[in-house]
Amino acid sequence: MGITGRSDRTKFRHQVLNPLLEAGLVEMTIPDKPRSSKQRYRLTERGRRILRETRGGEDEE
């Protein structure tokens, strides 16, 4: 949430995270337990491709 400048978790989820999930740019590491305290998110292959394209070919992870 820090990079996006948001401090409210609910707004972050609705305005940032859910649209990225729906677009297939990020995925849950534990899809069976979306509210798990250990839940993390990672870029999908599509998300990594778009990131590379917007950064001019840089391959950072």
pLDDT tens digits, one per residue of 7-28: 788 888 999 999 999 999 999 9
* DSSP label of 6: -
Distance CA 42, CA 24 (A): 11
Kindly list the domain boundaries of the chain, sorted by start residue.
9-54
Q: Answer for the pair 7, 18: CB distance below 8 angstroms, yes or no.
A: no
pTM of the model: 0.74
pLDDT at residue 53 is higher than 70: yes
